[in-house]
Amino acid sequence: MSLVSINEIHKHFGDLHVLKGITMDVREGDVVTIIGRSGSGKSTLLRTINGLEGIDDGAIHVDGTELVAGQKDLRALRLKVGMVFQQFNLFPHLKAGENVMLALKVVKGISKAEAREMAMAAMTKVGLAEKFDAYPDQLSGGQQQRVAIARALAMSPKVLLCDEVTSALDPELVNEVLNVVRQLADEGMTLIMVTHEMRFARDVSDKLVFMHEGRVHESGDPKHLFVNPGTPELSAFIQSVS
Ligand code: ADP
Ligand code: MG
């Protein structure tokens, strides 16, 4: 049984055909990593899965909730899908913990006291309980990104989307964020991520998806694909990033 099922989706930006019939299935607990050159459609694909971008054709199902072309009501989908971006997008005037509490209160209507407890649990999970009352500018980039992860986790998503969550970080801060993602994977969180950290992708992913020019060009077991790419395009991509 798939938790996320993506069926022949298409997306255009004006004349640009960005997603050209993507089909993908993700089971509960799977870690799927999407790789591919800049502009191949990776971010657009992730953004369609939580309804940040509409689709022009096809369908997406997340835990029984359907998304089709032209759909306006995205509330049910967004409650099931968490997302973490390259930029952390924390509100600078709110404390870290208040950033985590915000959607719990506003979107889910949870009381302040309960939201605080849930936010503290999420901050504890990412190792930042003691930074609950710090403002974003008092935190390192790695810590800010961990707060952004906590903010997504606090909403108890069925699946977490991670779009190059370490790309904006100084190199020495990358591992603290990857370690949190790895811990989530180990705990059975369903993850779909885009990353340029190839060793990490190989180590934690159950499935690797190589996108090329808006299509899934190749997919399979990362341990196999990194060693035996089946197409010249994947082979060239692996060489370009290693
Ligand atoms: P990737 O994440 O693989 O680098 P993207 O999904 O960001 O690729 O982009 C795929 C293509 O869609 C690129 O050509 C990009 O310029 C274009 N694109 C992405 N978002 C928009 C947008 N909002 N409007 C117009 N074109 C876009
Ligand atoms: Mg991108």
Predicted confidence (pLDDT) per residue in 145-204, tens digit: 999 999 999 999 999 999 999 999 999 999 999 999 999 999 999 999 999 999 999 999
What is the residue extent of each domain of the chain?
A: 2-241
pLDDT digits 0-9 by tens, 99-151: 999 999 999 999 999 999 999 999 999 999 999 999 999 999 999 999 999 99
The answer to whether the CB of 48 is under 6 A from ligand 1 is no
23, 66 Cβ separation under 8 angstroms: no
How many residues in the chain? 242
DSSP 8-state symbol, 196: S
Task: Return the CATH fold of 2-241.
Answer: Rossmann fold (3.40.50)
Burial label, 224 (beta-carbon count in 10 A; 0-12, 13-18, 19+): exposed
Q: Which atom of ligand 1 is nearest to the CA of 214?
A: 10
Cα Rg, the chain, nearest whole Å = 18
State yes or no: pLDDT of 231 exceeds 80.
yes
Q: Determine if ligand 1 sits within 6 Å of the CB of residue 33.
A: no
Among candidate residues 205, 145, 216, the one with its CA nearest the CA of residue 175: 145
ipTM: 0.98
